[in-house]
C-alpha cells in the first residue's frame, strides 16, 4: 500500500498522515462523547499511547493507513479516516471514519472521504477485491451513504465497542460492484 502519499486531497478536504502535532486533537476527540457521536464509544486514548503507536508505525504501515482530516480552505481539523487489511484477508480492506465536530456532520464530508478513499484503494491496490464497513444499526445517515456508494448489506451482528455491546451492520462493496457503479464511473473530483 505504498501507493499513498502523505497527504491526499479531495475537493474540500486534506487527508494527511498522522503526525505528532495531531496527537493532542486525537486525544481530545477520543475522550469526547460529542466527538464520537451517538454511534461510537470514546476510546479514551492517552497521549503517550498514541505517541507510541505513531512512533511504532501503527498508523501508517503496509496494511494500514490512518488519516487526519482537515478542511482545505481553512485547515480546520474535522475528523479521521482509517483503513486496514483484516488479518488473514489480504484481498479485503476495512474502512472507518469519524467526523468529530457535530457542526461539520451532515455536510457531505463523510461521503466525500469514503468515495475518495474507495476510488483510491480500488484504483491503486490491485489485490483488493472488496471494501467493508461496519455501522451501528441506528446510524441511518451512514447506511444511506453506504447504499448510495454501492455497498450491500451483508449481515447484522453484535459487536464490542470499547466494552459496550452494540448491534450493527456489515456492508461490502466488491471490485465488480465498484467498476460498474455509476457514482464511480462519472467521478470528476
8-29 core/surface letters (b: 16 or more CB in 10 A; e: else): bebeebbbbbbeeebbebbbeb
pTM greater than the 0.85 cutoff? yes
The whole domain housing 44 covers 7-185
* Residue 167 domain flag: yes
Evaluate whether residue 15 is within a structural domain: yes
- On whether residue 45 sits in a domain, the answer given is yes
Kind of pairing, strands 7-9 and 164-174?
Answer: unpaired
Q: Is residue 2 part of a domain?
A: no
Q: pLDDT value at position 12?
A: 97
How many angstroms separate the CA atoms of 114 and 112, rounded? 6
Instruction: Name, in order, each residue with C-beta under 8 angstroms of 84's C-beta and a sequence gap of 6 or more.
Output: 63, 64, 65, 93, 94
Which cell goes with 13? Answer: 478536504
The Cα 160–Cα 43 span in angstroms is 12
Q: In this structure, is residue 126 part of a structural domain?
A: yes
| Stretch (H or E) spanning 98 | strand 92-99
Residue 145 in domain? yes
pLDDT in single tens digits along all 189 residues of the chain? 345 678 999 999 999 999 999 999 999 999 999 999 999 889 999 999 999 999 999 999 888 999 999 999 999 999 999 999 999 999 999 999 999 999 999 999 999 999 999 999 999 999 999 999 999 999 999 999 999 999 999 999 998 887 888 899 999 999 999 999 999 976 554
Structural domain includes residue 106: yes
Any domain includes 143: yes
Domains: count for the chain: 1
- CATH number, position 89: 3.40.630.30
SS3 179: helix
**61 vs 124: CA distance, rounded Å:** 16
Amino acid at each position: 500500500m505504498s501507493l499513498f502519499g502523505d497527504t491526499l486531497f479531495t475537493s474540500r478536504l486534506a487527508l494527511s498522515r498522522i503526525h505528532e502535532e495531531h496527537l493532542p486533537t486525537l486525544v481530545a476527540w477520543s475522550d469526547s462523547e460529542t466527538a464520537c457521536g451517538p454511534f461510537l464509544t470514546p476510546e479514551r486514548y492517552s497521549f503517550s499511547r498514541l505517541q507510541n503507536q505513531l512512533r511504532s508505525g501503527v498508523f501508517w504501515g503496509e496494511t494500514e493507513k490512518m488519516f487526519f482530516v482537515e478542511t482545505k480552505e481553512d485547515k480546520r481539523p474535522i475528523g479521521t479516516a482509517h483503513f486496514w487489511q483484516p488479518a488473514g484477508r489480504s484481498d479485503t480492506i476495512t474502512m472507518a471514519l469519524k467526523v468529530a465536530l457535530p457542526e461539520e456532520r451532515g455536510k457531505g464530508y463523510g461521503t466525500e472521504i469514503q468515495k475518495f478513499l474507495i476510488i483510491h484503494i480500488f484504483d491503486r491496490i490491485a489485490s483488493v477485491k472488496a471494501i467493508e464497513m461496519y455501522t451501528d444499526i441506528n446510524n441511518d445517515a451512514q447506511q444511506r451513504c453506504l447504499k448510495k456508494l454501492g455497498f450491500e448489506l451483508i449481515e447484522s451482528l453484535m459487536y464490542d465497542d470499547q466494552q459496550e455491546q452494540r448491534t450493527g451492520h456489515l456492508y461490502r462493496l466488491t471490485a465488480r460492484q465498484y467498476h460498474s457503479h455509476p457514482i464511480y464511473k462519472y467521478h470528476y473530483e
